[in-house]
Chains A and B, each alone.
Chain A
Amino acid sequence: MSLILASINYWVTIILMIGGLYIVVAHGNMVKKLVGLSIFQTSVYLLFLSPGKILGGTAPIISEKFEVYSNPLPHVLILTAIVVGVATIALGMALVVRINEAYGTIEDDEVHEMEQD
């Protein structure tokens, strides 16, 4: 039990990640896949941010009032990752719009059937 409590942050991260990944792999609706993809990516951010947190620390903005700061490095990385994520989602949505115009549907299976013939 203590094992679980000590790393509760990782457990939550993993559950979220798996949820997101499941949506991407199992679902056929292209918009929903993209939402799942963004959930999957967002949960990875927690994996980076958790190890950087120092209990009793504060946000990494230097000021005379504080001594201990949380690790700034993951914040920088995750900022970049968020931006990459949103660019990907935007491009994905543009593709969905075009697919919808070309095929009249955004269901994976239906598109697949149309491509067969």
Chain B
Amino acid sequence: MEFLQEQLPALQVVLPLVAASLCALFRFGYLSWLITLSSSILSFLVAVFLLLRVLEQGIISYEIGGWSPPFGIEYRVDLINAFVLLIVSGVSAVIVPYTQKSISARFDSTEQSWFYCMYLLVLTGLLGVTITGDAFNIFVFLEISSLASYAMIAMGRDRRGLTAAYQYLIMGTIGATFIVIGIGLLWAMTGTLNLYDLAGRLPEIKNTRPVLAALAFLTVGVSLKLALFPLHLWLPNAYAYGPSVASAFLAGTATKVAIYLLLRFFFTIFGGATFFTETPLPEILKILALLAMFAASIVAIFQSNIKRMLAYSSVAQIGFIVLGISYATETSLTGAMTHMFNHAIMKAGLFLLLGAIMFRLGSVKIEALSGIGRKMPLTMAGFVILGLSLIGAPGTAGFISKWYLGLGALEQGEWWILVLIVSASLLTMIYIGRVVEVAYFREPTDEVVQLKEAPSEMLWPAYLLIAAAIYFGFDTSFSADLARQAAVLLVNAVY
């Protein structure tokens, strides 16, 4: 038992990887689903145990292959990535029960297996990126998850899914190559690839030009993967035209891991709040974040496809999170990390509900939804609750994270940022309000009249997320307090 506990970090990533190969080996749809379900739940449990262990005994270091770092690859779990591991594996575990219904309706047995295989590989890649302590390993696992998500998005119903996947592939690969350039420059200056060895060696050479250029390349590369405005162009189509399950999964996890990378690079490698804030980067990020919050929200208001609307909303929410990062204070980082957690729950839930509508109605155009609130009451009620949380209404999770973000701005004496946060939230209210208006206050169309409520397999995973969104709005001892502890580590560059 003791031995198993020590092997948890490796198990976290190996579990979904082996499960993915098994899916591709047997190629039998239902079996693959069972494999995916069990491995997702198990890896969620592993993440829970890892978090408990980190809380109990501090940082866990795991040497893969028994080679000590920096010669071998190290897995290192601290509070920050244990938190992210929990988000990623948790969202994945909730979504899997939902997938069976929507995937088996569209694909034959082999295709289903391949879909689950890709799903698990995205999970493998994201968990691998989060847990690893080696710069090049980050790149490798990032590409596993990216390639698998390109394939998943291309499986969408609409032919636009193909071009969305192609665009994502081009932008994503440029992003990955930029990250490699950044890693290469750092390596050329220090000779090491281990993140923590690197962090120890950088302060001596911190103002040399290759290091600054590396910071720039890493930032641009991760921002491409993160879809930070104005590098977000791939995201709306990818989320809108991919399968609903893929949108829910990626919206809940992939961008969160990219944010984690940003935090890791800025605060661990580049010497914490001191070095990062000496560069003009925080100011640039702040401006981009504010632009994202407003531009993307305004574009979202004018979308007729609700999935696309939510995708633009994701770009805006990423703006909120990056805004928190740009202040680099304890409170603002608490806000950023809490919002990361809450947004994962809310967006995954919203996309799952939209998937249920798509499953019954075959469309997510806003005009097709008129009066749907009467025919699919549970689905739409859930949509309203999560929508309120997205706006940041008190009593929901979204309120907590925006509260901390606002507080972080106030601490810096920038009250006008608070005004901007509130007004961006009002924009959120407009686009969520549009959907509510159509769904509840218009007469049902002929198509909508014949609809039935979404199947329960699709509803309860979404309601699990809804319950979480409400619960974390009242009880902040888990999300916000953990985030605060992690933020303290980040600001003080403890590793």
Answer whether A and B touch in the complex at a CB cut-off of 8 Å.
Answer: yes
Counting contact residues on chain B (CB < 8 A from A), the size range is 20 to 34
Q: How far is the CB of B374 from chain A (nearest CB, A)?
A: 33
Q: How far is the CB of A50 from chain B (nearest CB, A)?
A: 8
Chain A residues, CB < 8 A from B140:
80, 84
Main SS of chain A's interface residues?
helix
- Check if B231 is an interface residue, CB within 8 A of chain A: no
Chain B residues, CB < 8 A from A73:
193
Chain A residues, CB < 8 A from B176:
84
- Check if A16 is an interface residue, CB within 8 A of chain B: no
Chain A residues, CB < 8 A from B193:
73, 77
Among residues 69 to 101 in chain A, which have CB atoms less than 8 Å away from a CB atom of chain B? 73-74, 77, 80-81, 84, 87-88, 91-92, 95-96, 98-99
Evaluate contact between A115 and B147: CB separation under 8 angstroms: no
How far is it, in angstroms, between the C-alpha of A21 and the C-alpha of B173 when the chains are bound? 11
From B181-189, B316-324, B409-417, B478-486, the one touching the partner chain is B181-189
Main SS of chain B's interface residues?
helix
Instruction: With A95-B150, A96-B166, A99-B162 given, name 20 new contacts (CB 8 A).
Output: A24-B170, A30-B166, A37-B174, A41-B177, A44-B177, A44-B184, A47-B181, A47-B184, A77-B136, A84-B140, A84-B143, A87-B143, A91-B147, A92-B169, A92-B173, A95-B162, A95-B165, A98-B154, A99-B163, A102-B159
Evaluate contact between A37 and B170: CB separation under 8 angstroms: yes
Residue of B at shortest CB range from A98? B162
How far is it, in angstroms, between the C-alpha of A37 and the C-alpha of B172 when the chains are bound? 11
Interface residues in A, total, Cβ within 8 A: 29
How far is it, in angstroms, between the C-alpha of A47 and the C-alpha of B159 when the chains are bound? 38
Chain B residues, CB < 8 A from A44:
177, 180-181, 184
Known contacts A48-B187, A80-B140: A91-B162 contact under CB 8 Å: no
Chain A residues, CB < 8 A from B222:
none
Chain A residues, CB < 8 A from B360:
none
Chain A residues, CB < 8 A from B163:
99, 103, 111, 115
Type the 1/0 row for A19-53, where 1 means its CB is closer than 8 Å to any CB of B. 00100100000100100010011001001100100
Evaluate contact between B151 and A91: CB separation under 8 angstroms: yes
Evaluate contact between A92 and B166: CB separation under 8 angstroms: yes
Chain A residues, CB < 8 A from B136:
77, 80
Evaluate contact between B162 and A102: CB separation under 8 angstroms: yes
Evaluate contact between B173 and A81: CB separation under 8 angstroms: no
- Residue in B143, B184, B193 with the greatest tally of chain A CB atoms within 10 Å: B184
- Residue in A73, A92, A95 with the greatest tally of chain B CB atoms within 10 Å: A95
- Check if B160 is an interface residue, CB within 8 A of chain A: yes
Chain B residues, CB < 8 A from A111:
163
Type the 1/0 row for B238-249, where 1 means its CB is closer than 8 Å to any CB of A. 000000000000
Q: How far is the CB of B438 from chain A (nearest CB, A)?
A: 24
Q: How far is the CB of B118 from chain A (nearest CB, A)?
A: 11
Residue of B at shortest CB range from A25? B174
How far is it, in angstroms, between the C-alpha of A41 and the C-alpha of B98 when the chains are bound? 38
Q: How far is the CB of A15 from chain B (nearest CB, A)?
A: 15
Q: How far is the CB of A12 from chain B (nearest CB, A)?
A: 15
Q: How far is the CB of A1 from chain B (nearest CB, A)?
A: 20
How far is it, in angstroms, between the C-alpha of A111 and the C-alpha of B193 when the chains are bound? 42
